[in-house]
Chain A
């Protein structure tokens, strides 16, 4: 069982007291417990069962404008005492930084709304096994599938965030995640693909049959890929890749990248950085949302932000430290975005495929090719050649490249948004990118 709020609060307040005793002028503490149980299957047989119980604490102490932090998984009182004393000692020896402080008191969250983030139901390992059997039967029904690996995880977490300004709050969250990875083979090639479902509530999880079938189909269609020539071409990003581009956008508007001057979107507030009709929202209070939260990792209240309005950048993602540096107030984005998404575009998926006589539909990228300082983008990719709206054949061993500054101005979105991850995008078309192949 995950530890209750009372236990976590007691530990937190013990630490706050101790830090004060050792000479800290301000302190913040996070105590978190997470219990998860995973069952893995491979080729229709049990492969691994894993239970983890993680309890951890992290403490930041301030002496005026000096700051230092510690974290530990050993919550025995004598260990905490040694660590906090060490932390305060380190704080004394760390140079001042004028922007260091706890969040402004008036920005702290005052209430915790019930966002439906915790499901009390428990799925025993035997039931997880039943689900995975069904999933793997569906995933391996085609003879071309030669290997299946699937996994079911139940996670229950609880946390408390407390600081010396009197903030003390926290809440439980749960997640149930099933995934299927399949390998398909023919005479010419061997390919891998996957499908996955993650929900706060057990009853919302995708059907096992559907998940397995989808994983298998997505893998089989990749068999016998071809390599194409190098050319300028329109790229259509599958939703699972498009969300990554949105995440890159989010890191480029984080107040730390902006205040350090290491983002290609620095000084772009209130300017047009995306195509005309594009709206981007970050909405923390979605019920059962995978990125939902009541407050950020400093305790600052979080409201919905329309980050981009008709292509114009309206907000950075601001925490207390970088906010003070930029002379802006925190908007509760310490720790990043919550439920971040592009609003739907106004054409269908089918029309998006049809909007160019020839395009590349990308289902997977590999490599770490996003540079937020310069905006340069270059990654390895696999996908399909699309001609006149039809999927022609699979493609691999190519790269796609461009610069986000141009790419962002050339985005067209379909109207097929769904909330499957914390960050979500409809299918995305970007014109004028370069593919390198033969």
Chain B
């Protein structure tokens, strides 16, 4: 736990007074303090390319009056700096006449331990594992031409001080371990990438040489791609595997269900509350409460405890994801989705762990039901245009399906669909829901935040596959 007022000329009491004075006639707002320590250790091209450490400290001061947000941030926690920020906020919100909303729910639940993963493992141990990863993969044959592996670790302490002095705090560990391998055969090069991570120590993922399974998976994907042929182009049936392919859910419907886009009526979903937006059997939740997952949070960045929010229940749109600002303006409550990348940024409604729940069918049944289509197992990134509802994601491992059987691997292709209609094209939901391995970062308005996704295998009746084979 950081003491933000140590070694400054600003006492906690003085800070509280400035906050209360600035926010007295505002509708909402807070001082957000953050101290983060992070490390990155990278092995690439047979060598430790980079070992770096970052320590970041600062505050963001926010005042909200009706729909208007005034924000000011600085690296310098001092009396002078906070007063200057206060003046900035006051000059933006010239005539405020709101009533500060003191209400904020309480919870004692915690979803991760108060640890600093960086300190839990020595640099030498981390370097040894990276070198072992390199040796292990390069021992797998001449076709392995390049290995990149890295550790990313972080501990972020946040404190939120509200008008009146109410204080909420959280200490968040986060780690990630990634392996990328490039293989070459007959002049053709392909890469495979895999990683694991979450809000716990590195050892939770790496002990007992567990790192080998990460290497094996990266190499397997790269090797499959060496044999891949051009992907087809056009509309067809698509079977998605369980786990990480749920970034389809994240892009296709997740972003469109964030409160801000719906308050502003710029989301394709804004007028569909209570209506059928997905096939029967499709239930989607956004859950910040899963133990030690990458997208989990004890409290969000406004201090609201996170929860399990039902977005779509059996095909019917039930809830949007809300932060305090959008919830107030839409006359509902925050769902604990108010997040920011760091103190430099304003809070936005953002996803946590977005999951489609299991149904009854098996993956085998889905494959059998497809005459001509593709089976997509692994993905790179995705993106969505909230307004038109069109979204894409990029396959990194996929196969053709011919007459109910899995055929040859196909080259990475972009899949494109329409968010509001895609879930109505889901004709089978599998019984094999799986979480992703803990590597997702979601970008919105220039801010990246760690997120998770999960889904069972699903069959989509119609999607456009962006290959080159007509």
Q: A residues near B, CB below 8 A?
A: 42, 45-56, 67-76, 78-79, 83, 86-87, 90, 93-95, 97, 125, 146-147, 149, 183, 189-192, 225, 229-232, 259-262, 264, 364, 366-369, 371, 373-374, 376, 378-380, 382, 396-403, 434-438
Contact = CB atoms under 8 A, between A and B. Distances in A.
Contacts of A125: 91-92
Contacts of A54: 75, 344
Contact of A382 (B72, B235, B388): B388
B53 A86 contact: yes
B384 interface: yes
A192 B385 contact: yes
B414 A378 contact: yes
B468 to A, nearest CB: 5
16 contacts: A50-B70, A55-B76, A68-B52, A71-B53, A73-B56, A74-B57, A192-B266, A230-B470, A259-B45, A373-B182, A374-B188, A379-B466, A397-B417, A399-B392, A436-B467, A437-B235
Contacts of A382: 385, 388, 390
Most buried by B among A47, A366, A373: A366
Most buried by A among B51, B123, B182, B231: B51
Contact of B416 (A74, A397, A403): A397
A261 B145 contact: yes
Contacts of B448: none
A371 B222 CA distance: 13
B91 to A, nearest CB: 7
A72 B36 CA distance: 10
Interface in B304-320: none
Contact of B58 (A73, A83, A434): A73
B138 to A, nearest CB: 14
Contacts of A376: 411-412
Contacts of B413: 378, 399, 401
B414 A401 contact: yes
Given A47-B67, A190-B387, 11 more contacts: A50-B72, A73-B57, A76-B7, A146-B265, A261-B145, A367-B383, A367-B416, A378-B231, A380-B414, A382-B390, A397-B464
Given A262-B146, A438-B235, A45 B67 contact: yes
A376 B188 CA distance: 12
A192 B417 CA distance: 17
A379 to B, nearest CB: 6
A40 B430 CA distance: 45
B268 interface: yes
Which 6 residue pairs are nearest across A and B when measured between Cβ atoms? A399-B466, A436-B233, A380-B392, A367-B392, A192-B387, A49-B92
Nearest to B236: A436
Nearest to B77: A74
Contacts of B344: 52, 54
B77 to A, nearest CB: 9
Contacts of B391: 366, 380
Given A147-B265, A380-B414, A72 B388 contact: no
Contacts of B27: none
B47 A438 contact: no
A8 to B, nearest CB: 14
Contacts, number: 242
A157 to B, nearest CB: 14
Nearest to B393: A367
Given A366-B392, A376-B411, A437-B234, A55 B75 contact: yes
B99 interface: no
- By secondary structure, the B interface counts as strand
B69 A47 contact: yes
Nearest to B46: A97
B10 to A, nearest CB: 13
B125 to A, nearest CB: 11
Contacts of A397: 390, 416-418, 464
B444 to A, nearest CB: 14
A183 B75 contact: no
Given A74-B57, A401-B414, A50 B75 contact: no
Contacts of B465: 399, 436
A399 to B, nearest CB: 3
Nearest to A78: B7
B127 interface: yes
Contact of A190 (B73, B382, B388, B468): B388
Contacts of A78: 7
B71 interface: yes
B74 interface: yes
B101 interface: no
Most buried by A among B49, B146, B411, B468: B468
B108 interface: no
B85 interface: yes
A382 B233 CA distance: 16
A70 B40 CA distance: 10
A392 B190 CA distance: 40
B216 interface: no
B380 interface: yes
Contacts of B57: 72-74
A397 B421 CA distance: 12
Contact of A183 (B233, B380, B381, B387): B387
Contacts of A95: 47-48, 127
A190 B346 CA distance: 27
B343 to A, nearest CB: 9
B53 A83 contact: yes
B234 A68 contact: no
Contacts of B91: 125
A83 B68 CA distance: 39
A364 B387 CA distance: 14
Contact of A50 (B127, B346, B392): B346
Nearest to A375: B189
Contact of A94 (B127, B191, B265, B412): B127
Contacts of A51: 71-73, 85, 88
A53 B75 contact: yes
A50 B231 CA distance: 46
B109 interface: no
Contact of B390 (A45, A73, A380): A380
Contacts of B393: 367
Contacts of A261: 145-146, 182, 189
B11 interface: no
Interface string B385-416: 11110111110000000000000000111111
A125 B93 CA distance: 12
Contacts of B47: 95, 97
B54 A72 contact: yes
B217 interface: no
Nearest to B124: A93
B71 A93 contact: no
A261 B184 CA distance: 10
A139 B247 CA distance: 34
B31 to A, nearest CB: 15
Contacts of B76: 53, 55
Interface in B223-257: 231, 233-235
Given A379-B392, A382-B390, A70 B189 contact: no
Nearest to B53: A70
